[in-house]
Amino acid sequence: MVREPDRTVDLPGVPRADPLGEPLARALEGDEGAFAEVWRLLHPPLLRYLRVRDRDTAEDIAAETWLHVIRDLSRFSGGPSEFRAWLFTLGRHRAIDAGRARAARPSTPTAEVIDIGTAPSAEAAALERVDTEAAVRLVASLPPPQAEMVMLRVVAGLSVAEVATIVDKKPGTVAVNVHRALKKLAGSHRAPSGTGVPAAVCPD
């Protein structure tokens, strides 16, 4: 008898395995390839979150955040949920620090630097980001505290309790704010189709 290959079956009420779990475990053991996979999974949502907080410096803040992660990875303990919360907390702190530093010194106009390196086609990358950029702009139209909660809950995939810890609010406050914000966005005539912003989020 030929045995059929195993198939993954989603059972009602049984959560699917977190895709971050396996590469994170290997990354914590020193596997550089696994860390690259962790980066591929989490860098896009981190960048979208930071663009809502500070669009002009989001790339730089994200880079600083990952450098901090690399430096302190050996001291991290926990699973995927704890790692996500740690990463976005670091990103938030870096963004706050950058905002304070910018406010403390006057800005000086500089000539625009155009990167003509060997990166993939800028046009292709821009086309791939159309829906994401539209969603980020839509969320950014909310009051900053509310926008941050939505990004952490929906884009980062953190739980209500984790978001509450990061923004120093009660879980109930976070749940209500996120629900109201998403309801407002869903009913907005400016909301483009297919942005990936759900109509509601259920509190944990």
Q: What digits encode the pLDDT tens for the residues 94-128?
A: 999 888 877 777 655 444 433 333 334 444 444 44
DSSP at 106: -
**Predicted local confidence at residue 98, as pLDDT:** 84
The answer to whether 167 and 174 are in contact (CB under 8 A) is yes
| DSSP output for 47-61 | HHHHHHH-GGGHHHH
Q: What is the mean pLDDT of the chain?
A: 76
Q: For the whole prediction, is pTM greater than 0.75?
A: no
* Token pair of 39 as six digits: 């980066």
**Predicted local confidence at residue 103, as pLDDT:** 77
Residue 170 exposure: Cα atoms within 13 Å on the Cβ side: 3
**Predicted local confidence at residue 132, as pLDDT:** 60
Map residue 190 onto helix, strand or coil.
coil
The answer to whether 158 and 173 are in contact (CB under 8 A) is no
Look at residue 26 and tell me whether its pLDDT is greater than 90.
Answer: yes
The arithmetic mean of pLDDT across residues 69-98, rounded, is 92
Q: What digits encode the pLDDT tens for the residues 114-170?
A: 333 333 444 444 444 545 667 677 788 889 899 899 889 888 889 999 999 999 999
**Predicted local confidence at residue 93, as pLDDT:** 92
**Predicted local confidence at residue 191, as pLDDT:** 43
